[in-house]
Amino acid sequence: MLAFLVQRISQALLVMFVISVIAFAIQDGLGDPLQEMVGMSVSEEEREAIREELGLNDPFLVQYFRFAGKAIQGDLGNSYFYSKPALEVIAEHLPATLELVIGASLIIIFLSVPIGVYSAIRPQAWLSKFFMGVSTVGISIPVFLTAIVLIQLFSIGVTVNWFPSDTGWGQWLNELLTTEGGLPSYGRGDDLVHLFGTWESGLFTREGLAHLLLPCISLASIMLPLFIRLIRAEMMEVLQSDYIRFARAKGLSAGRINFLHALKNTMLPVITVGGVQIGIMVAYTILTETVFQWPGLGLMFLEAITRSDIPLIVAYLMVVGLIFVITNTLVDLIYGLVNPTVKLAGKKA
């Protein structure tokens, strides 16, 4: 266990190093940060003076070693736009993203497991076919489109009058398709509860939860169909296996077989895939946060790129790299808990 952690930590350090070099190497391609900092009519001389002050004129290696020296002491530099330490900026934006990811994950877990299991046990039922059909559509719709449709339906609202409203059925259909709107379409709302440090949470107020709803659904919409299909496929395979047949023969109850024996083995590959998907989730939060103006890490990163806020970009990439390493480590540990026969690296057999 200890050896496993040591190995992971050294991996993390290597990842950080590689990321920092790459991020530093591409900074020339990111453009001139000064364009965001000064007005158009500022003379070239003044600009040069600021560049000199910021150390942007130094050779690559000088800049890198200055950065690395500070980074070792936990200082990743100051964001140009926020005028404060990049790590502090990230810490301020992290809670918003975490809450978004937690919300989306909860939706995914609470929907994908029952739906996946159900459609594996009863593959021929019409409800299963319906779920499979919807999930195929769900997989192929890009997240920003889902987001925009959700905003149109539930924030702005739509009035449908396609059907003749003087007939009973027409009126019924119109009313069925008409939505009220009124859900918040942007941001986290005003009613945040301060937890600790930089964490201001929207999880404890009605308003905060209302703001979370649409972004969480959008983010979940990408992963949910994937997990439903994955759980279904794995579960169906497990249900065919000998030990399940044996359990059936022994006369165990269906619930016990399905939810204890079968589901446990189904979850192993799902957890692995889930761990990998967390990385992809980071990419999708960028899209979701942009559409919903969600003040989290994704939006912050995207804007840092348009502003060529180099220190913030580098810091973000390193923090995300760290999050990857941590989640993968956790996934491996959880995997070991679910299935004790799996050996962690370095552990004697």
For other proteins, the closer CB: 125 or 193: 193
Residue 3 or residue 26: which is nearer to other proteins going by CB? 26
The SS3 call for residue 78 is strand
Tokens of 56: 């942007």
Cα distance between residue 322 and residue 304, in whole Å: 19
Return phi, psi of residue 165, to 5°.
Answer: -85, -5
Residue whose CB is less far from other proteins, 170 or 295: 295
Name the amino acid, one letter, at 233: A
Residue type, 145: L
CB of 251 to other proteins, least distance (A): 57
End-to-end CA separation in angstroms for the chain:
12
Whole-number minimum distance, CB 179 to other proteins, in Å?
11
Whether the Cβ atoms of residue 221 and residue 146 lie closer than 8 Å to each other: yes
Give the nearer residue to other proteins in terms of CB position, either 43 or 240.
43
Which stretches of the chain bind other proteins, using CB under 8 A?
Answer: 29-33, 35-46, 49-50, 53-54, 78, 80-84, 92, 148, 151-152, 155-157, 181-187, 190, 290-293, 295, 300, 303, 305-308
Both tokens assigned to 61: 């290696």
Single out the residue of 113, 329, 105, 344 nearest to residue 234, CA to CA: 113
Query: Least distance (Å) from other proteins to the CB of residue 36?
Result: 7
Side chain identity at residue 218, one-letter code: S
Q: Closer CB to other proteins, residue 225 or residue 311?
A: 311
Least Å distance, CB 45 to other proteins, is: 8
Q: How far is the CB of 199 from other proteins (least distance, A)?
A: 14
- In the complex, the smallest distance separating the C-beta of residue 87 from other proteins, rounded to whole angstroms, is 15
User: Measured from the CB atom, is 40 or 349 closer to other proteins?
Assistant: 40
Which distant-in-sequence residues (6+ apart) come within 8 Å of 263 by Cβ? 113, 117, 235
Please say whether the beta carbons of 187 and 295 come within 8 A.
Answer: yes
179 or 265: CB nearest other proteins: 179
The DSSP bridge partners found for residue 193 are 201
Nearest alpha carbon to residue 301 among 287, 237, 197, 121: 287
- List all residues 6 or more positions away from 297 whose beta carbon is below 8 Å from its beta carbon: 90, 93, 94, 96, 97, 285, 289, 316, 319, 320
Least distance (Å) between residue 302 CB and other proteins? 9
Two tokens, residue 36: 């965001």
CB contact set of 183 (below 8 Å; sequence gap of 6+)? 154, 155, 210, 213, 214
For other proteins, the closer of residues 4 and 186 by Cβ is: 186
Q: Is the CB of 39 or the CB of 255 nearer to other proteins? A: 39
- Rounded to a whole number of angstroms, the minimum distance from the CB of residue 310 to other proteins is 10
Minimum distance of other proteins from residue 118's CB (angstroms): 35
What is the distance between the alpha carbons of residues 271 and 102, in angstroms, rounded to a whole number?
A: 16
Is residue 317 within 8 A of residue 19, CB to CB? The reply is yes
